[in-house]
Amino acid sequence: MAFLEIDQVSFTYPKHDKPVLTEIDLQFDRAGITAVVGPNGCGKTTLTKLMIGVLQATEGEIRLTGRPIADFSLAEIGRRVGYVFQNPDLQLFCGTVAEEVGFGPANLGYEPAAVAERVGFYLDYFELTAYRNTFPMHLSHGEKQRLAIAAVLANEPDFLILDEPTTGLDAYRKRLLEDYLKKIARSGRGMILVSHDTAFVDRVAERVIVLENGRVIEDSRRKGKAADEA
């Protein structure tokens, strides 16, 4: 049984006639890095929102660990699947950068010392330590993007969905993100990476799904990527 199954899913936004996604059939294991690519407006973000239960399929069914996603609360889905929004402004809500990273682990019930340790690690890795007491909305776009990723990774979820995570990152910080995503994949967790950034996708993805006009037009494996690298 796949971790996440998308079974003949179609989706039309309420009060619209034209379906955004049509008869999508996909399965994802809790392993490896899968990229979802395709032109602007082809339905990538909509597909990821269906996967985390924020939107409900018009037709078909999505199952998480074999159970219909409609049977889970959003919080239950959130504990299993970490989601990095395309727009970090929609994700960040805490008063300081450090609180933003610590919120998830504290909510998962970790002891304050363990929370502080994780916060320290992720702030350091994403080079945000200097901003630990800064109000997140005062950061630059690239810093917000790094913070949004750090805050989701700090929960150490089994599966991750990242929607355009390289937006606003410079080449060096993309490389750091690449290293970290590969490290996560090697630790036996899976992820879906929605991206326009073909160079980044080429470096990290083991499987590439191409969407066009709301349909899957290609689903291919690529050899010699993250999982093989030591």
Which residues contact Mg ion by CB under 5 A?
Answer: 44-45
Of 32, 37, 44, 165, the one binding ligand ADP by CB under 6 A = 44
CB of 195 to ligand ADP, least distance (A): 10
- Chain position carrying tokens 């083991």: 206
Of 155, 161, 157, 190, nearest to 2 by C-alpha is 190
Give the CA-trace dihedral at 84, 215, 208, 78, to 10 degrees: 30
195 forms part of the interface with ligand ADP (CB under 6 A): no
Return the range that interacts with ligand ADP (CB under 6 A); candidates 33-41, 120-128, 143-151, 183-191: 33-41
Told to check if 54 binds ligand ADP by CB under 6 A, we report no
Strand segments, DSSP code E, in the chain are 4-11, 21-28, 32-37, 59-64, 67-68, 81-84, 159-163, 190-194, 207-212, 215-221
Q: Work out whether 56 is an interface residue with ligand ADP (CB under 6 A).
A: no
CB of 163 to ligand ADP, least distance (A): 7
Buried b (16+ CB within 10 A) or exposed e, 86-99: bebeebbeeeebbb
Q: Does the protein bind ligand ADP through residue 162 (CB under 6 A)?
A: no
User: In Å, how far from its chain's centre is CA 173?
Assistant: 17
Cβ closer to ligand ADP: 20 or 153? 20
Does 46 sit near ligand ADP (CB under 6 A)?
yes
42 near ligand ADP (CB under 6 A) = yes
**Residues within the interface to ligand ADP (CB under 6 A):** 13, 16, 20, 38, 40-46
